Amino acid sequence: MRPLTETETQTLFTKLANYTGTSLKNLIAPLSDDPNDRYVFRLHQSRCYYVRLSLANLATSISRDKLLSLGTCLGKFTKSGKFRLHITALPILAEHARYKVWVKANGEMPFLYGGHIVKAHVGRWSEDCPEHQGVIVYSMNDTPLGFGVTARSTQEARRLDPTGITCFRQADCGEYLRDEDTLFATS
Amino acid sequence: MAPSRTSTVKSKHAANKSGIRNSKNSGKPQGDGVSKSKKPKSKGPPPKPQKSAGNLATLKKKRRVYTEKELGIPALNMITPVGVEKPKGKKKGKVFVDDRESMLTILAMVNADKDGQIESKMMKARQMEEIREARKVEAEKRQEVRKAKLDETKEGMRKKRKRPTGADEEKDTTRNEAAAGTKPLKLKKRKSVSFA
């Protein structure tokens, strides 16, 4: 377990900034209850964790191969140095989301089973959203379901037919069940 | 022309070695009657000290520079491969970013980049939208013009048809037959005929 290097931090932040706005800096803000403690990013077996510093320090007492996970797993660094967000990062992304898509009740299950979002299933969406922009997907009662990338800008999507794809799925909560074996195990 | 060139070139190199050549060609490059008269008396010496003094001064300076450079030369004259060379006074391995300030600067840079990208995307989308709107308006105009032309031709055709009157009368008779409710009468007749 180690802190991130400069390039790793940059790739991580660029990835997060796809989905979040400027409020992302609140992620590394000092905590109000304990001025000495703060949240840090830690790399463990190519996975990046967002964790309290006190907890990370405690975790050093566990041997590397025995330590499975700590804090919130944001995703993992690929061998080529890119960063891949996991569904486990959803609570953090949802908190600082820049663009949002709300899915109607009839579109929730298709999305949670791994389908893209068609226009007929979209209940609401953020205005002025450009093409190929990261968005967080919510149900109509504001429960975050996953995240994806817009296929069309908001204006273009208005002219789309009901079966046309408006948002490409990248991760959804169904992965907790579908990828149960690989989501937390490293091998 | 040629000898003068060679003389100028050679005179530089040969000046230190021998004064004989200088004495031969000295007339052209130097062009001093006084120097000619002096040279035969003391063959080499007079030009030598002049040039050698300047050269010596530069040589001395150069030697001093070399001595200074010698400080940087490693004690053992070994070849070090490019990748192996380590910068002095630098930390070995990865440099971690764990303090808030440096993270914030990275974040600010990334955010500025992303904002710029999104802004440019939006601008592009708006421009495309404007172009599309303009095309749509043009297409609508064209269609209207076409429709207007079609209507005109239609009306022209209608007017042409109305002129011949005999055809209209025939039409009227047929229409009357068809629309005057002759059908029920005919049907009754047929029934009566069939029953009869």
Q: What is the ipTM of this complex?
A: 0.84
Is the CB of A6 less than 8 angstroms away from the CB of B104?
Answer: no
For range B150-158, the mean pLDDT: 93
In terms of DSSP bridges, do strands A144-150 and A134-139 run parallel, antiparallel, or are they unpaired?
antiparallel
Q: Can you tell me the distance from the alpha carbon of B175 to that of B181, in angstroms, rounded to the nearest whole number?
A: 11
Residue of A5, A14, A153 with shortest CB distance to B94: A5
- Which residues have C-beta within 8 Å of that of residue B168, sequence separation ≥ 6? B162
Which of A4, A11, A13 is the best residue to mutate to test the B interface, defined by the most B CB atoms within 10 Å of its own CB? A13
A155 Cβ under 8 Å from any chain B Cβ: yes
- State pTM to two decimals: 0.64
How many other β-carbons are positioned within 10 Å of the β-carbon of residue A77?
Answer: 17
Closest C-alpha among A73, A76, A103 to residue A91: A73
- pLDDT score recorded for residue A172: 94
Q: Domains along chain A?
A: 2-92 (3.10.450.220), 99-177 (2.30.130.10)
Residue A28: per-residue pLDDT: 84
Token readout for A38 is 């703060």
CB–CB of A88/A153 below 8 Å?
no
Residue A128's pLDDT is 85
Radius of gyration of chain A (CA): 18
Determine the Cα–Cα distance for residues B12 and A111; give it in Å rounded to an integer.
88
Calculate mean pLDDT across residues A11-15.
93
pLDDT digits (tens, 9 = 90+) for A141-180: 999 999 999 999 888 888 889 999 999 999 999 999 999 8
Tokens 């200088």 belong to which residue? Answer: B22
Q: How many interchain CB pairs under 8 A, A with B?
A: 61
pLDDT in tens, A82-122: 999 999 999 999 999 999 999 999 999 999 999 999 999 99
Q: Which residues of B touch A25 (CB under 8 A)?
A: 104, 107-108, 111
CA distance A62 to A75: 21
- Say how many Å lie between the first and final Cα of chain A, rounded: 16
Interface test with A, best of B99, B110, B115, B121 (most A CBs within 10 A): B110
Identity of the residue in B106, B122, B125 whose CB atom sits nearest the CB atom of A9 = B106
> Does the pLDDT at position B172 exceed 90?
no
Q: Does residue B26 carry a pLDDT above 60?
A: no
B95: which chain A residues are within 8 Å (Cβ-Cβ)?
A: 5-6
